[in-house]
Amino acid sequence: MAVETTLVLVKPDGVRRGLCGEIVARFERRGYELRAARLLRVSKPLAREHYAEHRGKPFFADLVDFITSGAVLALAVRGEDAIAGVRGLMGATNPADSAPGTIRGDLATLLSENVVHGSDSRKSARRELQLFFPDGLV
């Protein structure tokens, strides 16, 4: 197993609903280390760069509009096989398909407002961490 650092975003719906502490606690209880945290408003240019792989898809504008609609908590989470482990804790993208006990299964209500984002590969984790922590703290 490899020690990895991955990006987690608590999206605007999660921040608005006061779920940041619950979400961080779930990662920490699982043994992951919080390496950095930053509360921010995502700019449109940052949102477009973050979701670049979805450019041209019909839902791209909705993704950008939603992630820029309120505060976001960006987290750098580190641990053994953190990318897969964090995504497992998050649950399926669609909350209706997420198992109970996962973040989305327990806390999310809509596909369009599914509380969290997590990097899906080492390559995307490196890219996304650099976008949200450009000062190199992670």
Positions annotated as catalytic residues are 117
Q: Which residue carries 């020690």 as its tokens?
A: 3
- Identify the bridge partners of residue 110 per DSSP, sorted by sequence position: 113
> Which class for 14: exposed (0-12), middle (13-18), buried (19 or more C-beta within 10 A)?
buried
> Which class for 6: exposed (0-12), middle (13-18), buried (19 or more C-beta within 10 A)?
buried
Going through the chain in order, the beta strands assigned E by DSSP cover 3-10, 33-41, 71-80, 116-118
Nearest to residue 118, comparing CAs of 84, 68, 72? 84
